Chains A and B, each alone.
Chain A
Amino acid sequence: MPAISLAKAPQPAATNPAQIRNFCIIAHIDHGKSTLADRMLGITEVVEARNMRAQYLDRMDIERERGITIKSQAVRLPWRSSIDGQEYILNMIDTPGHVDFTYEVSRSLAACEGAVLLVDCAQGIEAQTLANLYLAMENNLTIIPVLNKIDLPNAQPEKFAAELAKLIGCQPEDCLRVSGKTGDGVADLLDQIVAQIPAPVGDANAPARALIFDSVYDSYRGVVTYVRVVDGHLSPREQIQMFSTGVRHEALEVGVISPEPLASKGLGVGEVGYLITGVKDVRQSRVGDTITTYNNPTKSALSGYKDPKPMVFSGLFPLDGADFPILREALDKLQLNDAALVYEPESSAALGFGFRCGFLGLLHMEIVRERLEREHKLNLISTAPNVVYNVTMDDGKEVRVTNPSEFPDGKVAAVFEPIVKSTILAPAEFIGTIMELCQDRRGTLLGMDYISEDRVEIRYDLPLAEIVFDFFDQLKSRTKGYASLDYEEKGDAEGNLVKVDILLQGEAVDAFSAIVHRDKAYAYGVMMTGKLRELIPRQQFEVPIQAAIGARIIARESIRAIRKDVLAKCYGGDISRKRKLLEKQKEGKKRMKMVGRVEVPQEAFVAALATDADIEKVKAARKAGQ
Chain B
Amino acid sequence: MTLSFYVHIPYCIKRCGYCDFNTYTPSELQDGATLEIVSSDYIDAVLQELAAAPTDPVPTIFFGGGTPSLLPAHDLGRVITAIKARNSLTPDCEITLEANPDSVTAEKLAEYLQVGFNRISFGMQSAKPHVLAVLDRTHNPVNVEKAITMARAAGFKSISVDLIYGTPGESLEDWRETVENALSLDIDHISAYALIVETGTKLAAQIKRGDLTMPNDDLMADMYLLVDQMCEAKGLTWYELSNWSKPGHQCRHNIAYWENKNWWGLGPGAHSHIDAKRFWNVKHPTTYKQKVFAGETPILDCEQLTAEQIKDESILLGIRMREGLQIELLEPHQLEVLALYRDNGFIELQADRVILSPAGRLIADRIVREITI
Stretch at the interface among B177-185, B202-210, B218-226: B218-226
Q: How large is the interface on A (under 10, 10 to 19, 20 to 34, 35 or more residues)?
A: 20 to 34
Contacts of A579 in B (CB 8 A): 309, 312-313, 316
Contacts of B369 in A (CB 8 A): 582, 585, 589
Contact in complex: B218, A563 (CB < 8 Å): yes
Whether A326 is near chain B, meaning CB under 8 Å from some CB there, is no
Contacts of B199 in A (CB 8 A): none
Residue of B at shortest CB range from A560? B218
Residue of B at shortest CB range from A567? B365
Residue of B at shortest CB range from A537? B366
Cβ-neighbour of B317 out of A541, A570, A573 (below 8 A): A570
Contact in complex: A576, B312 (CB < 8 Å): no
Contact with B along A579-590 (1 / 0, CB 8 A): 100110110010
Whether A265 is near chain B, meaning CB under 8 Å from some CB there, is no
Whether B303 is near chain A, meaning CB under 8 Å from some CB there, is yes
The minimal Cβ–Cβ distance linking A594 to chain B, given in whole angstroms, is 12
**Secondary structure type dominating chain A contacts:** loop
What number of B residues sit within 8 Å (CB to CB) of A? 45
Residue of B at shortest CB range from A597? B340
The minimal Cβ–Cβ distance linking B334 to chain A, given in whole angstroms, is 14
Contacts of B372 in A (CB 8 A): 582, 586
Whether B362 is near chain A, meaning CB under 8 Å from some CB there, is yes
Cβ-neighbour of A565 out of B192, B193, B273, B362 (below 8 A): B362
Residue of A at shortest CB range from B254? A571
Residue of A at shortest CB range from B364? A566
Contact in complex: B309, A566 (CB < 8 Å): no
Contact in complex: A589, B373 (CB < 8 Å): yes
Contact in complex: A569, B196 (CB < 8 Å): yes
Whether A195 is near chain B, meaning CB under 8 Å from some CB there, is no
The minimal Cβ–Cβ distance linking B96 to chain A, given in whole angstroms, is 12
User: With the chains together, A586 CA to B315 CA distance in Å?
Assistant: 15
Contact with B along A221-240 (1 / 0, CB 8 A): 00000000000000000000
Contacts of B368 in A (CB 8 A): 582
Whether B10 is near chain A, meaning CB under 8 Å from some CB there, is no
Cβ-neighbour of B316 out of A568, A572, A582, A597 (below 8 A): A582
| Chain B stretch 288-315: residues in CB contact (< 8 A) with chain A | 303, 309, 312-313
The minimal Cβ–Cβ distance linking B28 to chain A, given in whole angstroms, is 21
Residue of B at shortest CB range from A585? B369
Contacts of B361 in A (CB 8 A): 566
Contact in complex: A572, B364 (CB < 8 Å): no
Contact in complex: A582, B366 (CB < 8 Å): no
Contacts of A586 in B (CB 8 A): 372-373
| Chain B stretch 255-314: residues in CB contact (< 8 A) with chain A | 257-258, 263, 265, 269-271, 273, 278, 280, 303, 309, 312-313
User: With the chains together, A573 CA to B278 CA distance in Å?
Assistant: 9
Contact in complex: A568, B193 (CB < 8 Å): yes
| Chain A stretch 528-567: residues in CB contact (< 8 A) with chain B | 540-541, 561-567
Contact in complex: A576, B344 (CB < 8 Å): no
Contacts of A565 in B (CB 8 A): 362-366
User: With the chains together, A572 CA to B373 CA distance in Å?
Assistant: 24
Contact in complex: B278, A576 (CB < 8 Å): yes
Whether B238 is near chain A, meaning CB under 8 Å from some CB there, is no
Whether A476 is near chain B, meaning CB under 8 Å from some CB there, is no
Whether B242 is near chain A, meaning CB under 8 Å from some CB there, is yes
The minimal Cβ–Cβ distance linking A541 to chain B, given in whole angstroms, is 6
Contact in complex: A575, B241 (CB < 8 Å): no
Whether B175 is near chain A, meaning CB under 8 Å from some CB there, is no
Contact with A along B341-373 (1 / 0, CB 8 A): 100101000000000000101111110110011
User: With the chains together, A32 CA to B344 CA distance in Å?
Assistant: 67
User: With the chains together, A570 CA to B362 CA distance in Å?
Assistant: 14
Contact in complex: B303, A562 (CB < 8 Å): no
Contact with A along B171-195 (1 / 0, CB 8 A): 0000000000000000000001110
The minimal Cβ–Cβ distance linking A315 to chain B, given in whole angstroms, is 28
Contact in complex: B320, A572 (CB < 8 Å): no
Do A540 and B257 form a contact, CB below 8 Å, given A566-B241, A570-B320, A579-B309?
A: no
Contacts of A540 in B (CB 8 A): 340-341, 344, 346, 363, 366
Contacts of B362 in A (CB 8 A): 563-566
User: With the chains together, A583 CA to B368 CA distance in Å?
Assistant: 11
Contact in complex: A566, B363 (CB < 8 Å): yes
Contact with A along B14-43 (1 / 0, CB 8 A): 000000000000000000000000000000
Whether B217 is near chain A, meaning CB under 8 Å from some CB there, is yes
Whether B6 is near chain A, meaning CB under 8 Å from some CB there, is yes
The minimal Cβ–Cβ distance linking A571 to chain B, given in whole angstroms, is 6
A563, A572, A576 — most chain B CB neighbours (10 Å): A572
The minimal Cβ–Cβ distance linking B101 to chain A, given in whole angstroms, is 20
The minimal Cβ–Cβ distance linking A555 to chain B, given in whole angstroms, is 24
User: With the chains together, A564 CA to B363 CA distance in Å?
Assistant: 5
Residue of B at shortest CB range from A562? B363
Residue of A at shortest CB range from B320? A570
The minimal Cβ–Cβ distance linking A602 to chain B, given in whole angstroms, is 15
Whether A619 is near chain B, meaning CB under 8 Å from some CB there, is no
Contact in complex: A575, B193 (CB < 8 Å): no
Cβ-neighbour of A563 out of B217, B254, B309, B341 (below 8 A): B217
Contact in complex: A568, B194 (CB < 8 Å): yes
The minimal Cβ–Cβ distance linking A573 to chain B, given in whole angstroms, is 4
Contact in complex: A571, B303 (CB < 8 Å): no
Contacts of B303 in A (CB 8 A): 576
Whether A578 is near chain B, meaning CB under 8 Å from some CB there, is yes
Q: 16 A-B pairs, CB-CB below 8 angstroms?
A: A563-B217, A563-B362, A563-B363, A564-B218, A565-B363, A566-B366, A568-B193, A568-B194, A571-B257, A572-B263, A572-B265, A575-B278, A579-B316, A582-B369, A589-B373, A597-B340
**A interface residue numbers (CB < 8 A to B):** 540-541, 561-573, 575-576, 578-579, 582-583, 585-586, 589, 597
**B interface residue numbers (CB < 8 A to A):** 6, 192-194, 196, 217-218, 220-221, 224, 241-242, 254, 257-258, 263, 265, 269-271, 273, 278, 280, 303, 309, 312-313, 316-317, 320, 340-341, 344, 346, 359, 361-366, 368-369, 372-373
Not counting A540-B366, A565-B366, A572-B270, a sample of 9 additional A-B residue pairs whose C-beta atoms are within 8 angstroms of each other reads A563-B218, A565-B365, A568-B242, A569-B196, A570-B257, A570-B320, A575-B278, A576-B303, A579-B313
